[in-house]
Structure 1
């Protein structure tokens, strides 16, 4: 098994994110005991392409989908599908936080204006592709803190995430082939798409061992 850094992971890079409001019936399966956060019968799901670069503890590409869920009245994020091109990231994500990472090959091309063309595939075939055209960035750098809720070793665990980035709106198109295991509602236009430029992110906490974290 590849070695990986201890938590927390300090990461930096670029993220391209789309969000959808979908009926609860359209969500992918969630871990046992996890319920989506819904408003008027609709839940919020998202998908993102990420490039970890610069002084990140690991450098790799990633595509993921996630659902906004609740722990009582507290909002959480559950990652349902995720692929990376780093065996160390896959091993660390699974063993530290219960994140179900798989391996894939990526083709991420960015322009000087921050536009993105991205695709990913596994040995079984294409996962999907997307294009992002960024708009004008908002002023400043925006903080964001949340917790990821996953199932690991038969129990629910939460992991803290803290980040800061420049934010801008984007126009995005997603293309997911039939039968792809990347469960993104690409047949619906995104409710919102964003570019998260030059983010700095800390994932996890050195104070809590995985066996001690609970939801």
Structure 2
């Protein structure tokens, strides 16, 4: 049995993010009831390494891929692939929000920028190197909703964040056998380092259910 906190989760740490424009035929499957946002036959895909630390409700590492989608006319973010090194995060992500988290082992080096790798028992998922550049003044807020499939229905969840932002240069490597194999086929359009972020993930629930839940990981 694995326990995890009820939503919303308050998280803090560092994120290293790259964005691509990908041909529609190469986009991963998104949540039922949503469609990728496309321009000239391409969709927006992001991949990120996230290090949850400091005042986070859980401390763990994460590698994810997400697609910009629309729910009707409303823009959403759909997380299509995601790995973590915390059983509690995996169970909570699946049960609360329909986020398809899997477990992986991470190798993180923050000596200069970021050097990161993640692997499962079957695959080396990806490696990446980020070299942070110029800091953009201020702390930047961002609010959006994540759209996932939960119990056969569309589930949207709010995300509110604030962070400092740096431009970055990034180099990604993923084998063709990896679920993230297409990341090596083209250079990122844009890469950023979101430092010392604070995130509120999820929506408030009624007081009677605000207790830790326990589940058996799938």
Same fold (TM over 0.5): yes
Q: Is the contact made by 1:28 and 1:183 (CA closer than 8 Å) also made in structure 2?
A: no
- After TM superposition, the runs of 4+ consecutive aligned structure 1 residues lying more than 4 A away are none
Tell me what 1:212 maps to. none
Q: Is the contact made by 2:173 and 2:183 (CA closer than 8 Å) also made in structure 1?
A: no
Matches within 5 A, 1:49-198: 49-111=49-111, 115-182=113-180, 184-198=182-196
Q: Is the contact made by 2:93 and 2:100 (CA closer than 8 Å) also made in structure 1?
A: yes
- Shift of residue 184, structure 1, vs aligned partner: 4.6
CA distance in 2, matches of 1:184, 1:95: 29
CA distance in 2, matches of 1:163, 1:7: 15
Secondary structure of the residue aligned to 1:31 is coil
- Shift of residue 37, structure 1, vs aligned partner: 0.6
CA shift in 2, pair 1:199/1:102, >3 Å: same
- Shift of residue 185, structure 1, vs aligned partner: 2.6
Q: Is the contact made by 1:11 and 1:201 (CA closer than 8 Å) also made in structure 2?
A: yes
Secondary structure of the residue aligned to 1:135 is strand
Task: Say whether 1:199 aligns with 2:197.
Answer: yes
- Shift of residue 183, structure 1, vs aligned partner: 5.2
Aligned residues: 207
Q: What is the TM-score normalised by the length of structure 1?
A: 0.93
Unaligned runs of 5+ in 1: 210-215
- Shift of residue 163, structure 1, vs aligned partner: 0.3
CA distance in 1, matches of 2:32, 2:136: 38
CA distance in 2, matches of 1:99, 1:63: 13
Unaligned runs of 5+ in 2: 210-218
CA distance in 2, matches of 1:82, 1:108: 16
CA shift in 2, pair 1:64/1:158, >3 Å: same
Q: Is the contact made by 1:47 and 1:184 (CA closer than 8 Å) also made in structure 2?
A: no
Q: What is the TM-score normalised by the length of structure 2?
A: 0.92
- Please give the per-residue CA displacement for 1:173-215, whole angstroms capped at 9, x wherever unaligned: 0000121123553210001000000000000011479xxxxxx
